[in-house]
Amino acid sequence: MKKADWILIGSILFVAGVLAAFLYFVPKNGSAVTVEINGKTVDRLPLSEDTTKAYADENGGTNLLVIENGKARITEANCPDKICVHHRAISRSGESIICLPHKLVVTVINEKETDGVDARAG
Amino acid sequence: MKQSKAKTAALYGLLIALSFTLSYLEHLLPLPVGIPGVKLGLANLVVVTALYLLGAKKAFPVAVVRILLAGLAFGNAFSLLYSLAGGMLSFFVMLLCRRTKLSPVGVSVAGGVSHNVGQIAVAAAVMRTARIVYYLPVLLGAGLGTGLLIGLIAAPVIRRLKKGNINLHIL
Ligand SMILES: [Zn+2]
């Protein structure tokens, strides 16, 4: 390996580290979740209230969102891969559960900031 | 002197078969990032080796055919799209990096990282959300790890094949 290789590796580690610090360690627990389907925000629910709500996309894809003890998770879905159902419960600002087949994104936000990831990017 | 078409076909077959096997392996080891279809990029081993031994023109079809075959065999439309974006971006980044002072290890690292950046960019476009950036540090780290591993394996292979009498480059 040459010096240039080490410089490249160092730079990648640095960028990943800085991004990780901002995305994973700075965020505190969020206050609410937003639900987006196909890029449109369709719902905003506080994490402080226990709720269960079903969402459907235009093709009959459904996801059941459950908010319990300040955490949100998808407990049921009729998507083929079930990755959203197996995703762990989310509660920290910026975390999200994505159901790709249904183009559904559940994201934790902190309502004191304007918007999770976007607010910190600026 | 030109070698026979049969020999060329055999070489492509060998490389594609090897990368196909690696594709199957990475299919069995999904990245735990919550984005379905995102892959490690192990098959880059063959692409890196081919890039150094055969040159860009001959390595390119290996990269494309491998992705299409693996996509049809193990994936769906989404994972094929990710693999294509990741594979193509990684190929061209490695092509550029080969002209720099980087050794094959560095080129492979750049390929591994750009492979994942390509995948995440497509995921963001498909989902129409920038929130996928959340997974970027994990994917950068994973790309660095895979790229390093592949580079460390590929570098001695390239060195030995170039020294030896296996004159792949005259194909
Ligand atoms: Zn799902």
B interface test, pick of A6, A91, A100, A103 with most B CB neighbours within 10 Å: A100
Residue of B nearest to A88 (CA): B34
**A18-22, A86-90, B15-19, B128-132: which range is least confident on average?**
B128-132
Rounded Cα distance between B41 and B38, Å, is 9
The reported pLDDT for the residue numbered A49 is: 94
Asked if the Cβ–Cβ distance from A100 to B126 is below 8 Å, we say yes
Rounded Cα distance between A25 and A37, Å, is 28
What type of residue sits at position A109? I
Mean pLDDT of chain A: 87
Asked if the Cβ–Cβ distance from B101 to A83 is below 8 Å, we say no
Residue B35's pLDDT band (cuts 50, 70, 90): low
Question: Is ipTM > 0.90 here?
Answer: no
Whether the CB of A4 is below 8 Å from some CB of chain B: the reply is yes
What domains are there in chain A, each with its CATH number? 29-121 (2.60.320.10)
Query: Which residues, other chains included, contact B62 with Cβ-Cβ below 8 Å and sequence gap of 6+?
Result: B12, B15, B16, B19, B46, B47, B50, B54
The reported pLDDT for the residue numbered A1 is: 85
Query: Which residues, other chains included, contact B16 with Cβ-Cβ below 8 Å and sequence gap of 6+?
Result: B62, B65, B66, B69
Residue B90's pLDDT band (cuts 50, 70, 90): very high
Which domain range does residue B146 map to? Answer: 5-163
The reported pLDDT for the residue numbered A10 is: 96
Could you give the percent of chain B with pLDDT greater than 90?
Answer: 32
Asked if the Cβ–Cβ distance from B140 to A12 is below 8 Å, we say yes
CA A40 to chain centroid:
15
Mean pLDDT of chain B: 83
Using the predicted structure, report yes or no on whether residue B67 has a pLDDT greater than 50: yes
Instruction: Tell me if B169 is assigned to some domain.
Output: no
pLDDT tens for B101-140 read: 999 999 999 999 999 899 888 888 877 777 777 788 888 9
Instruction: Tell me if B97 is assigned to some domain.
Output: yes
Using the predicted structure, report yes or no on whether residue A44 has a pLDDT greater than 70: yes
Q: What value does the mean pLDDT take over residues B7-31?
A: 81
B interface test, pick of A1, A95, A99 with most B CB neighbours within 10 Å: A1
Using the predicted structure, report yes or no on whether residue A122 has a pLDDT greater than 50: no
Q: Sort B138 into a burial class: Cβ within 10 Å, 0-12 / 13-18 / 19+.
A: buried
3-state SS of chain B: helix, strand, coil percent to 5? 80, 0, 20
Q: What value does the mean pLDDT take over residues A30-56?
A: 94
Number of domains into which chain B is organized: 1
Using the predicted structure, report yes or no on whether residue A13 has a pLDDT greater than 90: yes
Asked if the Cβ–Cβ distance from A100 to B129 is below 8 Å, we say no
Residue of B nearest to A13 (CA): B141
The reported pLDDT for the residue numbered A116 is: 44
Instruction: Tell me if B168 is assigned to some domain.
Output: no
Whether the CB of B137 is below 8 Å from some CB of chain A: the reply is yes
The reported pLDDT for the residue numbered A26 is: 73
Q: What value does the mean pLDDT take over residues B31-42?
A: 67
Instruction: Tell me if B171 is assigned to some domain.
Output: no
Q: Which residues does chain B have within 8 Å of residue A77's beta carbon, measured at their own beta carbons?
A: none
C-beta of residue A85 within 8 angstroms of C-beta of residue A76: yes
List the shell of residues around ion ligand 1, using CB closer than 5 Å.
A 77, 79, 84, 99
B interface test, pick of A33, A42, A98, A117 with most B CB neighbours within 10 Å: A98
C-beta of residue A55 within 8 angstroms of C-beta of residue A62: yes
C-beta of residue B106 within 8 angstroms of C-beta of residue A1: yes
- Report the relative pairing of strands A32-37 and A40-46 from DSSP bridges: antiparallel
User: Which one has a higher pLDDT value, B147 or B131?
Assistant: B147
Instruction: Tell me if B130 is assigned to some domain.
Output: yes
3-state SS of chain A: helix, strand, coil percent to 5? 25, 40, 35
Which letter, b or e, does each residue of B16-35 get, where b requires 16 or more Cβ atoms within 10 Å of its Cβ?
bebbbebbeebbeeebebbb
Could you give the percent of chain A with pLDDT greater than 70?
Answer: 90
The reported pLDDT for the residue numbered B66 is: 86
CA B169 vs CA B2, B95, B112: distances in Å: 11, 17, 24
Residue B32's pLDDT band (cuts 50, 70, 90): low
**Closest CA of chain A from B105, distance in Å:** 7
Residue in A4, A83, A117 nearest the CB of B101: A4
The reported pLDDT for the residue numbered A113 is: 52
| Most confident by average pLDDT, A2-16, B24-38, B43-57 | A2-16
Whichever domain contains B60, its CATH number is: 1.10.1760.20
